[in-house]
Amino acid sequence: MALCMQRDSVLNRLMDCGKYVRYTPEQVEALERVYAECPKPSSSRRQQLIRDCPILSNIEQKQIKVWFQNRRCREKQRKEASRLQTVNRKLSAMNKLLMEENDRLQKQVSQLVYDNGYMKQQIHTASATTTDNSCESVVVSGQNQQQNPKTQHPQWDANNPAGLFAIAQETLAAFLSKATGTAVNWVQMIGMKPGPDSIGIVAVSSNCSGVAARACGLVSLEPAKVAEILKDRPSWYRDCRCLNVVNVFPTGNGGTIELMYMQTYAPTTLAAARDFWTLRYTTTLEDGSLVICERSLTSSTGGPTGPSASNFVRAEMLPSGYLIRSCEGGGSIIHIVDHIDLDVWSVPEVLRPLYESSKFLAQKLTTAALRHVKQIAQESSGEVHYGGGRQPAVLRTFSQRLCKGFNDAVNGFVDDGWSPIGNDGVEDVTIAINSSPNKFFGSHYNTSMLPTFGGGVLCAKASMLLQNVPPALLVRFLREHRSEWADYGVDAYSAACLKASPYAVPCARPSGFPSSQVILPLAHTIEHEEFLEVVRIEGNAFPPDDVALACDMYLLQLCSGVDENAIGACAQLVFAPIDESFADDALLLPSGFRIIPLDPKTDVPASTRTLDLASALDTGSGNARAAGETDPNNYNLRSVLTIAFQFTFENHVRDNVAVMARQYVRNVVRSVQRVAMAIAPSRLNTELGSKSLTGPPEALTLARWICRSYRLHTCTELFRVESTSGDAILKQLWHHSDAILCCSVKTNASPVFTFANQAGLDMLETTLVALQDIMLDKVLDESGRKLLCIEFSKIMQQGFAYLPGGICVSSMNRPVSYEQAIACKVLDDNDSNHCLAFVFMNWSFV
């Protein structure tokens, strides 16, 4: 009896604490309404709830607080369970994809083992034969050619679908053998690791005709939607100028055959654009998978003859396409194959690596398609949120318009209204004008702008070859340090085209770029390989009476390829002036830079200098190494830089604008050359990174002298020497965190820098090649120069001196702060003065 009373007392206390409160459906409904508005109500809000809802009057405020806590916990658990289910579906689909990929690789290995055995047998048979059967072999080979003639398809008429259906079936079989079979030897691209959140599995071809790339991935869209997106190629393929469906034929199995003509842009000014005449076949397989396959129609494949266009080179698309399969639980698995022949022999030799690169094809076409589908899938599911109140589709349109406008400027097609004008005797910069009103169609500036405008658009463009300059690093520098290459006055003139009365005369100023820029992000792709942003250029550095320059300017800017770890990535910086309204149909005249890496070649000596591409075309690759001299560790990255700037003009000042544009592009080229030399990795850095290479004898000796002199004068070690060998000392000195610079000691001349470690080169923003052009008095500020003059006698007598922290200037006029500097006299083996060494500690850019 006592136990029962004690249990009842405990239950009563628990109920008093609110742990066993049962709510009626009406009470739950009232609480749910409040939770939908405010998941975490305050104490006053809970009291107000009890007063407003009589059905909750018998529940204490503490109990309601507990209900909301439990409700938030259940919501959190539900979201976590949903997320885990989504991840589980992705992992299951990825596991299925990897198993299929493993099966395909096993088939490829079996095929290679069979081919290897067959070749061994043939070699053994050939070596065992001692008699000369050359005549007989010729006869036999001729018989084989007669017995196995090359298949020639009849020239089917465009109105005869039967013949086109036969070509479509052959295309389908060839495509599937590449997508899931071993028809092409695929090699997975470095850095493309499969996973539930990765772009997918990306591979490129090895030793096949043309260039080919393959990608597999998962998307959370149904197959029909994926097919619709992929078939709209101009929406995601930035190099697609136009895609016209000439004819459509239905097939008996429910599919469709389309005859299509596509034109693509040339990536640089030094090569012709390409066009394709293709057959596209859309059908459904027996397992329900959707297939969209495509190939060119040529004399060997048969089919009708397609249209032709001047200034285009006809390229061939070998069987390619998309295999789209549905996943359990929703979503799709996509297999993409692109296989094309770009007629590499029609381009200059220096550009052929670009047209022979499967990696470039994978980046520009194959992964671009997969990324676009993934981007739309994430936008549809609400995973991507952009600021500024813009819809994702509108922002994508801005990116497409920027790329298309820049491509139009680079290519300058005659049918778009472009026509070249004469040069000034030097062909480094090409000038073209476009006076067609179609250039401005689709813009709300038409009616107000064209009557006053009465002119057109002028484009100044140039191409050059960069040596040993990482494209991602250069584009990132150009984006972040616009003042190093841009002219504020020219930007103001470009922005004037957005006004009702554009300026008649360019207002380029010798003052350069005195103002600052603020980058405002708008959108980015899922893997952050592309950024869309607004750049505000502040004009407060000019007097208010200079209306043209004193106001702020805005640029819509697209930046891509800034990831240095991306393989074969094209880096690009494209921008166009916009006004404050930033309307969806705003006029855009894009200008910018495009840097395309060429596959490293061992037949061109490494250099840190920027070369003019025209000279490279004339000289060719005549510096080939002898056999056995190729060094795989030698850093020899080449890339093609294309620059294009567009300006508006009025007819009566067209020649003045042309002179301004030509000179401005030349100035930009010189600035880019200077920047490229400053950020190019030095040869010494590359050589020290290889264990098989050592530095030059002079550098080894100098490193030993610096360490010995520093220890002798300061009675401390510059760094802990891990090895007594000269090569080890040089490597430690080279990778030291403090900036170490050596300069000459001359009585009748200004000290000139002769050596710097990597930190010193980074601080001065230069290279070992350009270091000797920098003088010490140009680096130190006025107070630093005065202090050095005061301490110079002490340095020569005592051997060293401590210099307080201060400011120095890099070769690109950027201020650099340092906490302390040590000036030390370097002695040679005969204890004679060799040079001065400066150690700048804890330096950083201001």
Residue 748: which pLDDT band, with cuts at 50, 70 and 90? low
Angstrom distance (rounded) from CA 217 to CA 198: 8
Using DSSP's 3-state secondary structure scheme, residue 639 falls into: strand
Residue 694: which pLDDT band, with cuts at 50, 70 and 90? very low
Residue-level pLDDT at 467: 82
Angstrom distance (rounded) from CA 262 to CA 374: 24
What is the DSSP-derived secondary structure letter of residue 624? P
Average pLDDT of the segment spanning 314-330: 90
Residue-level pLDDT at 194: 56
Could you tell me which residue, 140 or 97, shows the higher pLDDT?
97
Q: Which of 37, 181, 55 is nearest to 108 (CA)?
A: 181
Percentage of the chain modeled with pLDDT above 70: 76
- Range among 8-17, 71-80, 638-647 rated most confident: 638-647
DSSP-assigned beta bridge partners for residue 666:
none
Could you tell me which residue, 497 or 737, shows the higher pLDDT?
737
Residue-level pLDDT at 425: 62
DSSP-assigned beta bridge partners for residue 557:
533, 575
Average pLDDT of the segment spanning 767-776: 74
The residue to which tokens 């140009």 are assigned: 778
What architecture (CATH level 2) is domain 161-381?
2-Layer Sandwich (3.30)
Residue-level pLDDT at 11: 39
Fold of 697-845: Beta-Lactamase (3.30.450)
Low-confidence winner among 195-199, 218-222, 652-656, 732-736 (lowest mean pLDDT): 195-199
At 105, list the tokens: 């690789």
What is the DSSP-derived secondary structure letter of residue 274? E
At 599, list the tokens: 């596959």
Low-confidence winner among 74-88, 258-272, 674-688 (lowest mean pLDDT): 674-688
Q: How many CB atoms lie within 10 A of CB 655?
A: 10
For residue 700, how far is the Cα from the chain centroid?
Answer: 39
Average pLDDT of the segment spanning 302-309: 84
Average pLDDT of the segment spanning 624-640: 50
Low-confidence winner among 22-31, 603-612, 742-751, 788-797 (lowest mean pLDDT): 603-612
Whether domain 392-442+452-502+514-541+550-601+636-679 has CATH 3.30.530: the reply is yes
Beta strands in 143-239 (DSSP E): 186-188, 201-205, 211-219
Residue-level pLDDT at 105: 75
Q: Which of 304, 301, 296, 291 is nearest to 255 (CA)?
A: 291
Could you tell me which residue, 628 or 588, shows the higher pLDDT?
588
Residue 340: which pLDDT band, with cuts at 50, 70 and 90? very high
Residue-level pLDDT at 297: 92
Check if 392-442+452-502+514-541+550-601+636-679 and 697-845 are the same fold.
no
Q: Any long-range contacts for 228-234 (C-beta under 8 Å, 24+ apart)?
A: 229/372, 229/373, 229/376, 230/292, 230/322, 230/324, 230/369, 230/373, 231/280, 231/282, 231/292, 233/262
Residue-level pLDDT at 259: 94
Backbone angles phi, psi at 348, to 5 degrees: -60, 150
Angstrom distance (rounded) from CA 776 to CA 743: 7
Average pLDDT of the segment spanning 332-340: 92
Inform me whether the pLDDT recorded for 269 exceeds 80.
Answer: yes
Angstrom distance (rounded) from CA 771 to CA 98: 52
Residue-level pLDDT at 740: 92
Q: What is the mean pLDDT of the chain?
A: 77
Residue-level pLDDT at 505: 38
Average pLDDT of the segment spanning 587-604: 75
Burial class (CB in 10 A: 0-12, 13-18, 19+), 358: buried
Q: pLDDT tens for residues 453-468?
A: 567 889 999 998 888 8
At 491, list the tokens: 């930007």
Domain segments of the chain: what residues? 161-381, 392-442+452-502+514-541+550-601+636-679, 697-845
Average pLDDT of the segment spanning 223-239: 93
Could you tell me which residue, 327 or 723, shows the higher pLDDT?
327
Is the dihedral angle over the CA atoms 95, 97, 103, 104 positive or is it negative?
A: negative
Alpha helices in 559-612 (DSSP H): none
Q: pLDDT tens for residues 470-487?
A: 888 899 889 888 888 888
Q: pLDDT tens for residues 179-194?
A: 887 788 888 776 555 5
Residue 499: which pLDDT band, with cuts at 50, 70 and 90? low
Q: Which helix (H) or strand (E) holds 44?
A: helix 43-52
Angstrom distance (rounded) from CA 767 to CA 681: 7
529 vs 242, 478, 562, 563, 570, CA distance in Å? 25, 16, 7, 7, 10
Q: pLDDT tens for residues 562-571?
A: 876 665 578 9
Q: Find out whether 399 and 558 touch, Cβ atoms under 8 Å.
A: yes
Label residues 814-834 b or e (16+ Cβ within 10 Å = b). Answer: bebebeebbbbbbbeeeeeeb
306: left (phi over 0), alpha (psi -120 to 50) or beta: beta
What is the DSSP-derived secondary structure letter of residue 366? I
Low-confidence winner among 191-205, 307-321, 529-543 (lowest mean pLDDT): 191-205
Residue 556: which pLDDT band, with cuts at 50, 70 and 90? very high
Average pLDDT of the segment spanning 253-279: 93
What is the DSSP-derived secondary structure letter of residue 460? E
Whole-structure pTM over 0.75, yes or no? no
Angstrom distance (rounded) from CA 613 to CA 619: 10
What is the DSSP-derived secondary structure letter of residue 362? I
Average pLDDT of the segment spanning 656-680: 87
Residue-level pLDDT at 387: 57
Average pLDDT of the segment spanning 828-833: 86
Inform me whether the pLDDT recorded for 7 exceeds 80.
Answer: no
Residue-level pLDDT at 610: 36
Residue-level pLDDT at 279: 95
Inform me whether the pLDDT recorded for 150 exceeds 60.
Answer: no
Q: pLDDT tens for residues 607-631?
A: 333 333 333 333 333 333 333 333 4
At 48, list the tokens: 């107000």
7 vs 3, 4, 15, 534, CA distance in Å? 6, 5, 12, 70
Inform me whether the pLDDT recorded for 141 exceeds 50.
Answer: no
At 365, list the tokens: 């076409």
Q: Which of 501, 832, 497, 508 is nearest to 663 (CA)?
A: 508
Residue-level pLDDT at 124: 79
Inform me whether the pLDDT recorded for 497 exceeds 70.
Answer: no
Average pLDDT of the segment spanning 826-837: 87
